[in-house]
């Protein structure tokens, strides 16, 4: 057994990674107990955490007590709630009673929280077992999850490779079998990129669907569910979504994604793989092409519309993130710069060149982008795009390091991901669904983009893709 593939070869993996909907079904049938699963996931964490490093804090004794309570509820002694007995990892940017919110940083004052973030409170009230807090890149900025505060988080499929960022710990814990569900934050792709890299499902809901008093003012930023399957994401979304008084951006319209998403007509899918600085590298492209062929063979109507993707998407989105983080970076310079991650030090250098006029350019770019996508989304159920151009970025690779993809030199910052375009159009729902693994053994995910606020159509298309790619 090599260290590179550690968790894929450990015992108990099938039980630890069983989808939430399947676990809930077995709990109801009394053929499986929440105690068995939580014990297995704790044992799995004890084996893999020294290498994968997906957690900042764990609450295993409390989790076992909650699992025993859930077992009693499934036995008829109390109400069975939507997330009863299911473990949920909480990203280390959302307050959780009894836990510390460090935002992946040594410089943040992080006393034990006395109140839950609204999303965490909803998970707790729905019976979710809050057993661990998951790692993030510092201040949730960066496409790898490596900080001076918590060390390097690694991809369970290959521990030399990053699980992505910034919700890398959430995705890695799901892939490693140490959590059943997780939440992440996504302001440029921080749910979808880790989901793709780790072979799980992740959802960027329309802005406002899930309340976030902390970051809800940023129209790029959302909180999203992560799980083994599309259905698991729907289950968690239905718990955490809905208006909350503390977030004036939260939507009053309540959308419940139904179970049984795979039924219904075959979707009309548009395909575009050319939205980045270059196309996906050959190994990723082969997986995506095979997925499209299988979807067509299964009855999906496939279109290849010509989309003139604006060439300044990456510059506009990365500038937005830089400006939003600017104050948080600047306040720690020069006094505590040595405590910050290299990524933030590098970002500080980029911030010195930021222009006020770029904000207007960013808005204009988003308008041009939507003008291109609106007719495509009007004529199709969903648009399919790659989530990343490559899938083997190193666990400690720095953003200024260059990669060559299809003869084009790319940096390790925004150049290798293709998610941020849809944060610029924040009301579009987007799922990432795993569609296979490249020859290097690392997963590949596809983005499923639907019309504004049309969560259900996005989930139906994604469930169809998942059902086809899971067959055979």
Q: Map out the domains of the chain as residue ranges.
A: 3-240, 315-351
Question: Would you place residue 404 in the very low, low, confident or very high pLDDT band (cuts 50, 70, 90)?
Answer: very high
341 labelled catalytic: no
Render 128-177 in DSSP notation, one character per residue. -EEEEEE--SGGG-SSS-EETTTEE--BTTBTTB---SSSHHHHHHHHHT
- Per-residue model confidence (pLDDT) at position 12: 58
DSSP, collapsed to helix, strand or coil, labels residue 354 as: coil
* Highest CATH level, class, for 3-240: alpha beta
- Per-residue model confidence (pLDDT) at position 384: 98
What's the CA gap between 261 and 450, in Å, rounded? Answer: 15
Please state, in angstroms and as integers, the Cα–Cα distance from residue 176 to each residue in 26, 94, 156, 172, following that order.
21, 22, 6, 6
Task: Exactly one of 173, 187, 190, 341 is catalytic; name it.
Answer: 190
**Contact (Cβ atoms closer than 8 angstroms) between residue 392 and residue 284:** no
91 labelled catalytic: yes
285: left (phi over 0), alpha (psi -120 to 50) or beta: alpha
Question: Would you place residue 270 in the very low, low, confident or very high pLDDT band (cuts 50, 70, 90)?
Answer: very high
pLDDT in tens, 339-392: 999 998 888 888 887 787 888 999 999 999 999 999 999 999 999 999 999 999
pTM above 0.85, yes or no: yes
**Contact (Cβ atoms closer than 8 angstroms) between residue 20 and residue 235:** yes
272 labelled catalytic: no
- Per-residue model confidence (pLDDT) at position 261: 81
What's the CA gap between 376 and 382, in Å, rounded? Answer: 8
Task: Exactly one of 91, 134, 173, 187 is catalytic; name it.
Answer: 91
Beta bridge partners of 129: 87
- Per-residue model confidence (pLDDT) at position 349: 84
Beta bridge partners of 303: 270
pLDDT in tens, 154-213: 999 999 999 999 999 999 999 999 999 999 999 999 999 999 999 999 999 999 999 999
Any idea what DSSP says for residue 424?
A: H
pLDDT in tens, 19-72: 999 999 999 999 999 999 999 999 999 999 999 999 999 999 999 999 999 999
Q: Which token pair is 85?
A: 């007995």
**Contact (Cβ atoms closer than 8 angstroms) between residue 119 and residue 138:** no
User: For residue 276, what are the contacts with CB-CB under 8 A and spacing of at least 6?
Assistant: 314, 386, 389, 415, 416, 417, 418
323 vs 176, higher pLDDT: 176
Task: Exactly one of 105, 134, 166, 187 is catalytic; name it.
Answer: 166
For residues 208-220, give the mean pLDDT: 95
- Per-residue model confidence (pLDDT) at position 263: 59
User: For residue 157, what are the contacts with CB-CB under 8 A and spacing of at least 6?
Assistant: 5, 8, 175, 198, 199, 437, 441, 442, 443
């Amino acid at each position: 057994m090599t260290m590179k593939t550690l968790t894929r070869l450990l015992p108990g993996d099938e039980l630890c990674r069983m989808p939430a909907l399947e676990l809930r079904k077995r709990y109801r049938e009394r053929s499986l107990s929440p105690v068995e699963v939580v014990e297995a996931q704790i044992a799995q964490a004890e084996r893999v955490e020294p290498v994968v490093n997906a957690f900042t804090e764990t609450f295993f004794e409390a989790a076992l007590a909650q699992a025993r309570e859930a077992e009693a509820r499934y036995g008829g002694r109390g109400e069975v709630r939507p997330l009863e007995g299911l473990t949920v990892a909480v990203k280390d940017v959302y307050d959780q009673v009894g836990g510390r919110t460090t935002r992946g940083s040594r410089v943040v004052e992080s006393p034990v929280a006395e109140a839950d973030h609204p999303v965490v409170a909803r998970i707790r009230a729905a019976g979710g077992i809050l057993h661990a807090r998951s790692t993030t890149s510092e201040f949730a900025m960066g496409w790898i999850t490596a900080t001076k505060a918590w060390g390097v988080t690694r991809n369970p499929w290959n521990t030399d490779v990053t699980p992505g960022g910034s919700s890398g710990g959430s995705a890695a814990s799901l892939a490693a079998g140490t959590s059943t569900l997780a939440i992440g934050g996504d302001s440029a792709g921080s749910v979808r990129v880790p989901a793709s890299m780790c072979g799980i499902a992740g959802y960027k809901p329309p802005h406002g669907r899930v309340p976030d008093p902390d970051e809800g003012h940023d129209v790029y930023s959302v909180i999203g569910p992560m799980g083994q399957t599309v259905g698991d994401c729907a289950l968690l979304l239905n718990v955490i979504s809905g208006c909350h008084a503390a977030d004036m951006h939260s939507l009053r319209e309540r959308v419940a994604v139904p179970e049984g998403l795979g039924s219904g007509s075959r979707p009309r899918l548009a395909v575009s793989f050319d939205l980045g600085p270059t196309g996906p590298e050959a190994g990723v492209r082969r997986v995506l092409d095979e997925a499209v062929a299988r979807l067509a063979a299964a009855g999906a109507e496939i279109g290849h519309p010509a989309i003139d993707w604006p060439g300044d998407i990456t510059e506009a989105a990365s500038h937005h993130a830089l400006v939003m983080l600017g104050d948080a970076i600047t306040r720690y310079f020069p006094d505590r710069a040595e405590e910050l991650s290299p990524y933030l030090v590098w970002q500080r250098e980029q911030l010195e060149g930021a222009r006020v006029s770029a904000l207007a350019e960013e808005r204009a770019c988003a308008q041009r982008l939507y003008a291109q996508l609106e007719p495509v989304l009007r004529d199709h159920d969903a648009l399919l795009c790659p989530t990343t151009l490559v899938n083997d970025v190193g666990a400690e690779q720095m953003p200024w390091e260059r990669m060559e993809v299809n003869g084009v030199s790319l940096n390790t910052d925004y150049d290798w991901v293709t998610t941020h375009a849809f944060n610029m159009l924040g009301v579009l729902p987007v799922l990432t669904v795993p569609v296979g693994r490249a020859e290097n053994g690392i997963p590949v995910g596809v983005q499923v983009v639907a019309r504004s606020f049309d969560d259900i159509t996005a989930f139906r298309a994604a469930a169809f893709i998942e059902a086809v790619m899971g067959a055979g």
